[in-house]
Amino acid sequence: MSQASLFDFAPPPKLTERIFFAIAPDAGAMAAIHALSAALKAQHGMHGRPIAGAKLHCTLCNLGDFAAMPDALLARAAQAAALVAAGTQPFTASFDTAQTFISRARNRPLVLTGGNGVGGVIALYRELAGALLQAGIRGNPAGYTPHVTLLYDDVTAAPAAVAPVEWPVRELLLLHSHIGQARPYNVLGRWRF
């Protein structure tokens, strides 16, 4: 009888698909974000590449990372999103602080956050996270800090007030990111309110 080797197993599948809900800035806010990113990069001596316009967003709820598209999960998530959108009124998101999130030693995100101006974003997050939980989709924490990532860099920027970047929020997006690939996001769903 032969003994099984420690190496007689299949490696776990590579997670290549990230699925998440987000809101995205309009063209005017994108232009303001790009100008602000350039100014902050110069001010702090950063070298990171600013996030491309089509990838600028404020993440709401993550569905997770997957080896293949999780069709059943996507269907449940879409139903939850439709319910939330039906009960949501348009609002304005306003981000007025730039800072580095210190979550790792290197390549940290420089982000925009906000005070009272992100109250609508927080409310939308709570509604969506609750609807997803009712649909059996867990994993979104009670605590949430709305933010828009500008770039990644090793230099740390302390929180500082900036001219507010605002946009009207009128829709919820379900986005698909190709992990580790410089490809644009796929929009899997869009719910207007």
Residue 44 has pLDDT above 90, yes or no: yes
Residue 105 is predicted with a pLDDT of 87
In the prediction, which pLDDT does 103 show? 84
Q: Which of 173, 136, 177 minimizes the C-alpha distance to 23? A: 173
Reported confidence tier of residue 79, pLDDT bands at 50, 70, 90: very high
pLDDT at 6: 59
- The pLDDT of residue 5 is 56
pLDDT digits (tens, 9 = 90+) for 87-134: 999 999 999 999 999 988 899 999 999 999 999 999 999 999 999 999
Q: What are the residue boundaries of the structural domains of the chain, listed by start?
A: 17-192
Banded pLDDT at 166 (limits 50, 70, 90): very high
Name the pTM for this structure: 0.92
**What is the pLDDT, as a whole number, of residue 65?**
97
**What does the alpha-carbon distance between residue 3 and residue 11 come to, in Å, rounded to a whole number?**
19
17-192 maps to which CATH number? 3.90.1140.10
